[in-house]
Chain A
Amino acid sequence: EAQVTQNPRYLITVTGKKLTVTCSQNMNHEYMSWYRQDPGLGLRQIYYSMNVEVTDKGDVPEGYKVSRKEKRNFPLILESPSPNQTSLYFCASSLNPGTAYEQYFGPGTRLTVT
Chain B
Amino acid sequence: AQSVTQLGSHVSVSEGALVLLRCNYSSSVPPYLFWYVQYPNQGLQLLLKYTSAATLVKGINGFEAEFKKSETSFHLTKPSAHMSDAAEYFCAVRGGNQFYFGTGTSLTVIP
Contacts and interface: CB of A to CB of B under 8 A. Distances in A.
A104 B94 CA distance: 14
B35 to A, nearest CB: 10
Nearest to B52: A100
B34 interface: yes
State which size class the interface on B falls in: 20 to 34
A106 B43 CA distance: 6
Interface string A19-44: 00000000000010101000011111
A97 interface: yes
Interface in A44-96: 44-45, 48, 50, 56, 58-59, 90, 92
A23 to B, nearest CB: 11
Contact of B90 (A43, A48, A102): A43
Interface residues of A, number: 27
Contact of B97 (A41, A56, A100, A108): A56
B94 A42 contact: no
Interface string B52-94: 0000000000000000000000000000000000000010101
B43 A97 contact: no
Contacts of A92: 44
